[in-house]
Chains A and B, each alone.
Chain A
Amino acid sequence: MTATAPAPAARKPVEPGAEPPPPERTSVSRWIPAAVIVAVWIVVYFLTEGTDTLALPGVARTDLHDRLTEFNNDLLASRDTNPIMQFTNSISDLLRSVFEWVQRMVVVPNPPRPVPEIGWLGVVAIATYVGFVIANWRIAVLVCLSFLSFGVFGFWQDSLDLLIVTGISVAIVILLGMPLAVLVGTSARANKVITVVLDLMQTMPTFVYLLPVVLFFGIGVSAAVVSTMIYALPPLVRIAGFGIREVPTTTIEATDSAGQTYWQRLFKVQLPMARKTIIVGLNQTTLAALSMATLAAFVNGPGLGKPVLAGLRINDVGAAFVPGALIVVMAVMLDRTTTAASERSEKVARGGGGNIRQRRILLAAGGVGTLVAVYLSRTYIGLAEFPVYTIGDKVATVVNDVMDWVTSTFGGVTGAFKDYVTEWLLNPMQSLLAESPWYVSFIGIAALALVFGGARAFVSALVCLTGIWYFDLWHDAMITLTMTLVATVLVMILALVFGVWMARDRKVDLGIRPLLDAGQTIPPFVYLIPVLALFGPSRFTAIVAGVVYAAPAAIKLVADGVKGVSPTTIEAGRSTGQTTWQEITKVQLPMAKGSLVLATNQGLLYVLSMTVIGGLVGAGALGYDVVYGFSRSEAWGKGLAAGITIVLLGVMLDRITRAAADVRRDDGAGPRRAFHTRLPIGFPGDRKVVET
């Protein structure tokens, strides 16, 4: 109780409506009570260390966990009679047959033919043509090269399988998601309810729902499609819903006055005006779908995830790298294509789109060429089966050599860095959070939530902490929280350094963006092995994996935020003769504060989403519990409890940072930032970060 005492004094010192300067003082004053809380906490920790920590050994379970397991067992036992499962099984049969039909059309032999109905040449031609039709010739070239790279690097079938799964998933997501997006965009109440569900879908570790999905939908392609859908639905609903909501009320009122019906308003005004945002949502959904590829491979989902996992199985970085890089190629291809398509549709809608007659002729010529290619690919074996190249193996060897060199050269340095961070940052924080009695940490965290986020964040924190306590994994949760916080600190250091650098130098920006895109898209499993080789199985290894995954998003946010500072403000500063350092610390960073908070928020959630991966590399705690539950049926309940605990941690961190950002706002009501949406891949000029 003593810990909370200083908090009330710091509550919302300035109410909205005041002139701009106050936020400056607000942020200073909040750190003082926070420091007091931490000081009190440290004193209490020294008096009570090691008591009531609720630690649970790695393979131990509690009654609650066993009850959850029992629930799963009951479901499993009833699978032949349960009507819901009968229903889901028939859906899964349908999904499988659709997938297999498409597969036989374009990638696997369609017996008695020794090859698919359309061979590789035909497939490449069709894809290129589609790229040309919906966008332009540049996109057509990009699509063509991407498809050829799938085959040349030796993963033709896996790549097409992944494309098919992604295609089916995205199609279903659109069918389910658009009505939801309309609901979210038109009804405030529906928005509230649906947002909670979407939060859950996005923070729940995929491993946790992979098993129930298998239970209901079986192994393989159906499980892959369903789990991909769960993961890829939220971005579309959020972003498209936002687009619909943001259609100017004046426009709606003006058209309403003409006496339109609800449906007319929806289809003639709201949807068309939100089209661009909807396509951004679609774009994000597609990229999210791709990032599920490797995880779906755990339940025999088809696609490029399989060779990535196979590489992990034999500790072969190179073997995992090539298919991982092809996932990046595919992501870039889909991203650029959907973006260009939306731009084109925009242009056409405005009556542009270039010389129509010329384009028609080109389209006809391209169509004929495509038909010829399809015909040839149906006739000649060499044009139906992709030729075998060894270039993929060569790349794998080079990657392995480079990795060997890096690990043997830097092994010592990285080891020292690991020990330093572990000893000076990780261990002290973990002691405080995890070795204090649970009620002390509980009160400490809640008090900090109150200081930084105000009353609403305090209530959220109370609810979440109670839930974490209830699910019997308190100690593990505190260790995971520590790792998440430390990783986020590292992410923010990187984000500040690179973000500011990129914002101040366009060339740097152009050079770094593609690397960031790749960092966001390449499956984490690919870089697990080199990271392991550098740091050994430890908590720090998990932190590094989390940083690699989370830093790109945070860096982009900071860069965009700093870049958004108005040039006149900077000019004004320069005229007073300030140094570069002053300009960054006194003008650019303070003015980009909103972006910094958002970057922290995203950093926390991205890092947290890597918890399970961390469990695979020796981080223990909740990540290990989830993997343990996924691997052994008697521990399923513990895995589920750990998954729910991760969600609760995520919701808590999100609410606190979000509330902290809101308290800082001085512009009253207005659009809120899209916490949770993945950031678009691409150059800054292409499009803006979506806000909701």
Chain B
Amino acid sequence: MRTARSRGARLGAVAAVATLALSACGGGSIDEQTEANEEQAAESGGECGDLSMAVNPWVGYEASAYVVGTVAEQELGCSVEYKELKEDVSWQGFGTGEVDVVIEDWGHPDLEKKFFADQGDGTATDFGPQGNVGIIGWFVPPWLAEEHPDILEYENLNKYAQEFATSESGGQGQFLGADPSYVQFDEAIVSNLDLDFKVVFSGSEAASIEAFRKAEENKEWVIGYWYEPQYFNAEVAMQRVALPPYEDGCQDDPQTVACDYPETELKKIVSTEWSEGDSTAVDLVQNFTWTNEDQNVVAGYIASDGMSPEDAAAKWVEENQDKVDAWLG
């Protein structure tokens, strides 16, 4: 009985405190805003509608997606939904209406075969370059390039192979392979150029970055697959090792690749059904282009300065109104 009464007292006290707290922090009235929203909805016909933007898992992509999304929201009144997905899953979403835009595509021949009109079911459409140029290659941390400049030529790599050896590479030098979603021929390149290296796959971008960061800090020997545009390059300016230059067709047969990666023109891919609709965001996405530097700025805001992608994009949009105006046409 005693416990029950004290329980009641406690509950009463809680209720009293709660009521007090409530009356103190009133804020605005919800009813007023609801009415305002209703009026607004009646006025604007909602030209843009919903925009589903795939967000593939690397920060540069996130930067592009949120900048376009922010402009669409602010200038065109779209309601943008960001969907965090891997590339493959995103492309599957074009057909089901779950994804409208993939804003940064690094080239996926296998997906194009399945979803482009001329080869597949036609649910995806190429919306042209988005301005960034993807540079993929073999990179070493800056301290290494500085102390051993000749390492930037692949012919000299074997000389240093032993320095790159780790517990994972079985006596050979270790080459750090990339996140599995990226296009990569490193195993073939190593064997076709007779390099005394073993490819060890980092497995994820996070793992690669952590390895490069530590290598630069502690002057460790690391060579691996890396790319631009990438915010991390602002923190550690990774240096590219020259492989035999890329020529058309030298990467056609994955087994015999012995050349460097080509520069990739990054593209926008959109849902065919959405692109044929009347959303005002279609033009925006079609017109959107920017540069590697632009993207690195926004990606840096997100990854190095810890801003939310929304804030980072809004900040860039505010500072670059001229570029934004050009997209809006």
Contact = CB atoms under 8 A, between A and B. Distances in A.
Contact of A219 (B30, B93, B168, B206): B93
B33 interface: yes
B141 interface: no
A58 B200 CA distance: 9
B30 A137 contact: no
A59 B187 contact: yes
B86 A631 contact: yes
B178 to A, nearest CB: 10
A369 interface: yes
Given A77-B121, A219-B99, A365-B11, A536 B214 contact: yes
A378 B22 CA distance: 12
Interface string A355-397: 1001101100110010011001011111110000000010000
B168 A538 contact: yes
Contact of B30 (A310, A372, A381): A381
B22 A218 contact: no
A554 to B, nearest CB: 26
B18 A369 contact: yes
A245 interface: no
Interface residues of B, number: 77
Contact of A619 (B38, B110, B203, B214): B203
B27 A365 contact: no
A220 B83 contact: yes
Interface stretch (A35-43, A109-117, A329-337, A440-448): A109-117
Interface stretch (A195-203, A277-285, A415-423, A665-673): A415-423
Contacts of A218: 93, 96, 98
B115 to A, nearest CB: 9
Contacts of B180: 615, 624, 627-628, 630-632, 635
Contacts of A627: 180, 203-204
A268 B207 CA distance: 56
Interface stretch (A170-178, A182-190, A492-500, A526-534): A526-534
Contacts of B210: 315, 529, 532-533, 536-537
A617 B15 contact: no
B179 interface: yes
Interface stretch (A18-26, A255-263, A297-305, A648-656): A297-305
B57 interface: yes
A635 to B, nearest CB: 8
Contact of B88 (A112, A382, A618, A631): A631
A434 B111 CA distance: 34
A314 B302 contact: yes
Nearest to B25: A382
A73 B114 CA distance: 8
B12 A316 contact: no
Contacts of A314: 59, 302-303
B201 A113 contact: no
Interface string B302-314: 1100100000000
A532 B254 CA distance: 30
Interface stretch (B2-10, B287-295, B319-327): B2-10
Contact of A306 (B84, B205, B254): B84
Contacts of A381: 27-30, 33
B4 A113 contact: no
A201 B85 CA distance: 24
A211 B87 CA distance: 12
Interface in B217-235: 218
Interface in B135-181: 166-168, 176-177, 179-181
A628 B114 CA distance: 19
A635 B96 CA distance: 23
Contact of A378 (B30, B95, B187, B306): B30
A319 interface: yes
A480 to B, nearest CB: 13
Nearest to B204: A616
A219 B8 contact: no
Contacts of A553: none
B92 to A, nearest CB: 6
A528 B206 contact: yes
B197 to A, nearest CB: 13
Given A112-B37, A355-B1, A380-B26, A137 B207 contact: no
A590 B271 CA distance: 65
Nearest to A214: B89
B231 to A, nearest CB: 8
Nearest to B115: A76
Contacts of B179: 631
A77 B92 CA distance: 10
A309 interface: yes
A537 B4 contact: no
B202 interface: yes
B306 A620 contact: no
A58 B199 CA distance: 8
Contacts of B89: 211, 214, 219, 299
A540 interface: yes
A286 B27 CA distance: 37
Nearest to A384: B30
B275 to A, nearest CB: 19
A109 B110 CA distance: 40
A372 B19 CA distance: 9
B202 A618 contact: yes
B179 to A, nearest CB: 7
B41 A111 contact: yes
A620 B83 CA distance: 28
Contacts of A528: 206
A102 to B, nearest CB: 18
Nearest to A61: B254
Given A114-B37, A615-B180, 14 more contacts: A59-B254, A220-B83, A299-B85, A299-B89, A309-B84, A355-B1, A365-B15, A373-B22, A380-B30, A381-B30, A383-B27, A624-B180, A624-B203, A631-B86
Interface of B: 1, 4-5, 7-8, 10-12, 15, 18-19, 22, 25-31, 33-34, 37-38, 41, 57-59, 62, 83-89, 92-93, 95-96, 98-99, 108, 110-111, 114, 120-121, 166-168, 176-177, 179-181, 184-185, 187, 199-211, 214, 218, 254, 302-303, 306
